[in-house]
Structure 1
Amino acid sequence: MRRIGRYLLFVALLSSAFSCKKVIQEKIYVTEDNDTSSQKLPEYVITNYGAKGDGKTDCSVIINNLISRLPASGGTIVIPDGDFLLNSSIIVNRNFVTIRGLNAGLRSNVDVPPSGIIPPGGGSKLLLGTASIAVSVPALPDVNGRKNRVSGLIIKNLLISGGTTTKGTGISVVQDNDGVRIEDFIGINLNTGIYLNAADAAIIRYCWISECRNSIEMPNGIQNMISNCQLGAQPGGITVKLTNQENFIFTANHVYPDGDVNLQVNNSRYGNISSNNFQSYYVGVVELNSSSNNLINGNLTWMKLPGSPGRQLRGQDNDYGVFRINGDYNMVSNNTINCDWAASSADAVTVRSESGLNNRFQNIKISDTRSPRVFLVNSDCEIFNCVPAPKVIQGDASTVYIQY
């Protein structure tokens, strides 16, 4: 029994030793892999280098000098609380740059700012002076005959304002780019909040860009996502304009009035437009132009009566439509469309799809179906469980397929 006991004790100690050795080895591995000085990226707080958040002192030269000091592996430029004036654009011409504020502050012109702060106030703010763009990624020259790309740009927790008048662009990325992240960004009093060209796998989320002429414009991209944002535009503007996009997602956004169009999608395919709340005063809330194989699902749309009912058609005729679908093989399903039609719009169309092949509409709940032309479509459309057959008018001589 003693020998067996000693043997079991020896096995236990040996097992414990191996176990401890394993823990020690894992700890050393983590330390060696993640806690070396080579893994630490520089972080520059701009006020430590002379920038003043007084709304009067140009800070663009200081910020650009700090960006030029970042290594190829990148780093962070920190914008603390204050009003940091830009008379020239912040130029990002390298990879893995983060421009981070401490917080975006108050989000609207109607919010009362703290004393001595340029409205909307509080938080980390870049204020356009004579600069036309706050943060710019311009077109860069090719390297060794290869097309250049800018990767890993992050902008977050920051407010960009055009000042007391509407002017300029908050973020403009012209160069081909990969993995851009724009989060918790507020854009106010700008002509365009975000312009993002040739983006691959960009994510724009948790942003508030609602007091600009146009919120977001994105031409030429693939696998991009806009989610959980609050967006708006001014009369004559387009809140979100997507052109030449593939495999895009536009989801869980709240789109306010007062832009002429809430969402315009041009020459794009394989997009998912879902679970958004659209509000507008005008027809043409959602427009798909020459766009195919897209899904528009589970959205709530409310076309409100504007202060001037005559502007509800914004100069268009009664055929224009609240939803305009032009393209092939688009699916519009399980949407709710509430329309407060003015008396002058008694003959107006809610859904129009006169161009394209095999567009399908199903389970669309429309609150106001007084018009004799709720749907204006061509013969290649399929309509399931939307409105009674007499409310569907075909724009050509063929018969529309309708099922209940």
Structure 2
Amino acid sequence: MSTYDVIIRNGHIVTEETIVQGDIGIKAGKIAVIVVGQSIETEAEGEINAKGLHVFPGLIDSHVHFNEPGRTEWEGLETGSKSLAAGGITTFIDMPLNSTPPTINRENLVLKKAASERKSMVNARFWGGLVPENINDLKDLFEDGVLGFKAFMSPSGITDFNHVDDVTIYKGMKEIARLGSLLAVHAESTVICEQLAQEKIAEGHTSARDFTASRPIISEIEAVRRIISYAEATGCKLHIVHASSRKVVEVINEAKHRGVDVTVETCPHYLSLTVKDLEEKGGLAKCCPPLRDESEVDDLWKAVANGEIDVIASDHSPAPPSMKEIKNGDYFKAWGGISGAQSTLNILLTEGHFKRGLPLQKIAELTGAKPAKLFGLFPNKGTIKAGSDADLAIVDLNKSFELKKEDLYYRHQQSPYVGKTFNGKVITTLVNGQVVFQNGEIIKEIEKTV
């Protein structure tokens, strides 16, 4: 019998702290040994030659919408998890909305878990929802394993997942604090966004820039300041998702410095796309908060480099093509959500490492170690250490490619990144020691349901 199931040989091993060259021995889904500067002498049942390649911790995408058990015509766990595997992502945390039924009680979480066990080819974890009607369900959801709760401070666009008023969110935060969990919030001001949108539409101003102007940065700042004050009053751990501007991040970091337990996420689209892309690509580039100007993109990268951002996640929010169409020039009516989960690492390497000199260790930290620590998965996930799960992404930094529609594993092969040239290509992805993606192909069979 071989000592190891798999040995990855001669790779440049990237962690949140270092880059070293060596071998990784994998046994029973775990990293059994890391040998630096020399070879593992024994043989294995399978070997991967990673000479000249970089081995990253499998990425953790803590913000996806996979639309299952119901509404799978939008995405679904099978196609969604395949796209993650192709992008080097080995763990996701699925948001409680956009699927039917939403994950707002124990019964609905059971359905979500059952679907993921049948269909997901990567590690699945789940958010619970905080909505006006379910404060009494939070304890059950927490005890059944959700890693945190998600609430909207403005309308979500989904009729079965209501946004929370200030009293509800305050009461919910008190309960979440009591449970020792955390609350993630979509932070935009309902008053500012709705009033500005009504004014724009009444005037017949419905262009891409009109839509963006209706959801200004100050709307995020107002909501963030308000929710931070509730966090201070309740002691609830807080996570702000998809910050679109460094101006928002600065407010969060001011709160951190005075002792508030708050973290912040941004997304690859805010680090690579602008309102000009929204004009050119139409509904494929529509999201909320909206894309900003190029100067905001550059400032967000400075925040990343300076350690002001805690997590980078995709906010993969797909929809059928018909819902993404811009009809009669009206950007207000199309569904808002970016399909981008497969491209997260490509964007961080191309725009961050190659264009701006962001260290590879920083990418590993933002997509691995930090989310793993935040959501209680470290050190099993998010790093490369003896004893950690063998969730790994092997990348060729010397390969460039143009993303084509047919490369995408999404149910609907659409993305604002199609046509872009990326530097750095995922060659192999391992989940719990098993190769699930290699050389452009998904190679693990997924159990099909009738």
TM-score tier after normalising by the smaller chain length: under 0.3
TM norm structure 2: 0.23
Normalised by the length of structure 1, the TM-score is 0.25
Q: Which has the higher contact order (CA 8 A, sep 6+)?
A: 2
Larger Rg, first or second structure (1 or 2) = 1
Which protein has the bigger strand share? 1
Higher helix fraction (1 or 2): 2
